């Protein structure tokens, strides 16, 4: 499956719904507020956010351990990737999108 190894694997929400939930959370909405806005149960939202947070932690650990980056360098890395994503080939953009959405090697 395309989502295997990502926080989206075996989720009953669409990718669009998951992105909407994440955007609301980033905008400092609480879980109950997101529940009212999206109509999804707070347990579903909580489990999703936990899965995404765990995956982000794993991704940063890989960057820190394997590439020996500092946490500050990881932040700069993701900022740079996000800013320059439009200048890359479609194939590279696709690979970066997978990484930013939580795809890591098995």
Dihedral (Cα; 15, 102, 20, 94), 10-degree rounding: -60
* Structural domain spans, the chain: 15-100
For residue 6, give both structure tokens.
């990502």
d(CA 47, CA 57): 15
Task: For 42, list phi and psi in degrees, rounded to 5.
Answer: -60, -30
Q: Is the dihedral of CA 61, 66, 72, 77 positive or negative?
A: negative
Q: Contact, 11 vs 18, CB < 8 A?
A: yes
Q: Contact, 21 vs 38, CB < 8 A?
A: yes
Q: Which pLDDT score is estimated for 80?
A: 78
pLDDT tens track, the chain, 106 positions: 577 777 777 788 888 898 899 899 888 899 999 999 999 999 999 999 888 888 888 888 888 888 888 888 888 887 877 776 666 677 776 666 666 555 444 4
């Amino acid at each position: 499956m395309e989502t295997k190894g990502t926080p989206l694997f075996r989720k009953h929400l669409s990718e669009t719904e998951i992105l909407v939930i994440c955007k609301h959370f980033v905008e400092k909405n609480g879980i109950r507020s997101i529940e009212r806005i999206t109509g999804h149960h707070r347990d579903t939202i909580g489990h999703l956010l936990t899965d995404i947070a765990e995956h982000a932690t794993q991704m940063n650990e890989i960057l820190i351990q394997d590439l020996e980056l500092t946490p500050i360098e990881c932040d700069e890395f993701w900022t740079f990737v996000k800013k320059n994503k439009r200048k890359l080939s479609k194939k590279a953009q696709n690979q970066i999108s997978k990484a930013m959405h939580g795809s890591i090697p098995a």
